[in-house]
Amino acid sequence: MIEKIVQTAKQTVKEKVLRPSARYRSPPVTSVRSCMERGSPNLRRRIRGFRRTLCAAAGGKNDLDQESIFIAVLSPRCPACPNLTGSSPVNSEILNRLASIGPFSGVSRETLEAVFRDARIRRLPAGALVAEQGARPAFLDVLLEGNVDLIGKGPDGRETVVQSCEPMDCFVLAAVLTDAPSLAGGIAVAPVQLVSIPARSVRDGAASDHLLALNLMGEQARQVRTIIRRIKNLNLRSATQRLGCYLISQCDRTGSIAFALPVPKQQLAVQLGMTPESVSRAFAALREYGVSVSGRTVKLRNPDLVRANCAPDPLIDRDWREPPAACGDSPPG
């Protein structure tokens, strides 16, 4: 059925959508609903007509969800989904890479090929909207390169970072598995490359392959533990302690007392639940423990002193799968 929809949709995109809207430009969106809200009246009419065509291709059914529409309009030039510009199929190299990470580790090749059959590789610029709060996600996204912050937004417009995603993380997994609205949106902190897997393919794969289901449960549990660590970090420590423990964790990861911050200070402030001014004050407070900073370059002259005063806790600062601390003794003198 999907193949028939895709075939009809491509022809529809070419004849009814691309030609009359060659000059149309819109901000990135992540759902047909967003496009309907933000697009021009003419574009909204074209999308409604496009949906009717898809329904006709599906045998007259009028219950197609946005996921089916997304699968059908993955054409890189489709103006109904400009955020998919430049997407490409998942090749064998990427598939082998994904097969080595937690959610897909050990899963049979047959299941992997079925799950990733309609997946696409996307590249988005910094600041792009990757996931939309309140929308049912059409895809499970796996980050290949770059960083994405999951941000919760309140009715008054205030925002908070719920989770910072790094390469090989997947996000909005809970919403994908339950087919529920996402509780947070995703913003690309830097240019990103990600794999977008149709949500239905993920759910179907989990239903038919118990190992994939167990892996996804494990990944969801890991994400819950990450959020618990973040809550403890925000509520049990002062701003100076949070920054000090963060610097120690970066020191441990790099194995060096001198390293570059992986994100700008403004973004670091958001991740640590602080304001940029609070970050500056915290760096000033850490100077007496041998911490110096120049731009994004940080040096810990006495890591042991920072540890003693900021009290890193492995149940807050380190995933249990990470190796023990590598930033060792302070240098002599």
Strands (E) located in the chain: 88-89, 120-124, 129-131, 139-145, 148-153, 159-165, 170-171, 185-188, 192-198, 258-260, 291-294, 297-300
Residues 101 and 231 in one domain: yes
Lowest mean pLDDT across 36-50, 115-129, 179-193, 232-246: 36-50
Last-in-domain residue among 28, 61, 84: 84
Residues 159 and 22 in one domain: no
Q: Is 324 part of a structural domain of the chain? A: no
Residue 330 has pLDDT above 70, yes or no: no
Lowest mean pLDDT across 39-43, 131-135, 152-156, 189-193: 39-43
Show the tokens assigned to 228. Answer: 């618990």
Last-in-domain residue among 236, 271, 302: 236
Q: What is the amino acid identity at position 136?
A: R
Band of residue 311 on the pLDDT scale cut at 50, 70, 90:
very high
Rounded Cα distance, 222 and 283, in Å: 31
Band of residue 333 on the pLDDT scale cut at 50, 70, 90:
very low
Q: Is 330 part of a structural domain of the chain? A: no
Last-in-domain residue among 84, 118, 135: 84
Cα distance between the two ends of the chain? 71
pTM: predicted TM-score of the whole model, two decimal places: 0.67
Rounded Cα distance, 293 and 261, in Å: 10
Residues 109 and 137 in one domain: yes
Residues 100 and 218 in one domain: yes
Q: Residue 130 class from Cβ within 10 Å (0-12 exposed, 13-18 middle, 19+ buried)?
A: buried
Q: What is the amino acid identity at position 113?
A: E
Residues 203 and 220 in one domain: yes
Q: Is 140 part of a structural domain of the chain? A: yes
Q: Is 327 part of a structural domain of the chain? A: no
Number of domains the chain contains: 3
Query: What is residue 70's predicted lDDT score, i.e. its pLDDT?
Result: 47
The DSSP call for residue 66 is H
Residues 38 and 174 in one domain: no
Query: What is residue 15's predicted lDDT score, i.e. its pLDDT?
Result: 52
Q: Is 245 part of a structural domain of the chain? A: yes
Q: Summarize pLDDT for 51-67 with one digit per residue, the tens.
A: 555 555 444 444 444 44
Residues 223 and 144 in one domain: yes
Residues 108 and 227 in one domain: yes
Residue 33 sits at φ, ψ, to 5 deg, of: -60, -45
Q: Residue 144 class from Cβ within 10 Å (0-12 exposed, 13-18 middle, 19+ buried)?
A: middle
CATH number at residue 201: 2.60.120.10
Query: What is residue 126's predicted lDDT score, i.e. its pLDDT?
Result: 85
Q: Is 322 part of a structural domain of the chain? A: no
Of 185 and 7, the one with more pLDDT: 185
Residues 33 and 68 in one domain: yes
**Which residues 6+ apart lie within 8 Å of 238 measured at CB?**
none
Q: Is 277 part of a structural domain of the chain? A: yes
Query: What is residue 43's predicted lDDT score, i.e. its pLDDT?
Result: 53
Return the percent helix, strand and coil in the chain, to nearest 5: 50, 15, 35
Give the dihedral sign, CA 112/116/122/126: negative
Rounded Cα distance, 129 and 149, in Å: 10
Q: Is 146 part of a structural domain of the chain? A: yes
Q: CA 30, 33, 39: angle at the middle one, nearest 5?
A: 90
Residues 209 and 78 in one domain: no
Rounded Cα distance, 195 and 87, in Å: 9
Quick one: which of 181, 85, 66, 89 has its CA closest to 131? Answer: 181
Residue span of the structural domain in which 211 resides: 86-236
